[in-house]
């Protein structure tokens, strides 16, 4: 005797709705956790930077132009050297020819080792 398959549609819709609501709820909770974590990390990164200038305010104001000029000079020298090397042809010389050597018998091109050769 065969029993017919009876589908209780009210339970199907209830489980579908519950699953959908759980997914949406978990996504909202995950977004909240990520935003909270971003705020905590952002505050942790900002804290040391804000405390440092207050402690060394007077000497840094006098030494800043000299160190900034030295840094700018170093940057310009590095850029100038890179441009000089690039435009004066200091590159690796690579051949533009490709040579293919044909091998008659090997495991890669032999039809004896084919996967589709199942006939005996």
Q: Is the dihedral of CA 109, 113, 117, 120 positive or negative?
A: positive
Q: Note the pTM of the prediction, 2 decimals.
A: 0.35
At 61-91, the pLDDT tens digits run 454 566 777 788 888 888 988 888 888 876 6
């Amino acid at each position: 005797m065969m029993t017919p398959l009876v589908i209780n549609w009210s339970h199907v819709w209830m489980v579908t709705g519950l699953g959908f609501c759980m997914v949406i709820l978990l996504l909202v909770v995950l977004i909240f956790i990520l935003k909270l974590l971003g705020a905590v990390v952002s505050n942790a990164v900002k804290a040391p930077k804000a405390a440092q200038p207050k402690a060394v305010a007077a000497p840094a104001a006098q030494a800043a132009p000299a160190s900034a000029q030295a840094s700018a000079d170093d940057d310009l020298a590095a850029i100038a050297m890179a441009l000089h090397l690039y435009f004066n042809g200091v590159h690796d010389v690579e051949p533009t020819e490709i040579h293919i050597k044909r091998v008659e018998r090997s495991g890669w091109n032999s039809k004896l080792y084919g996967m589709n050769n199942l006939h005996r």
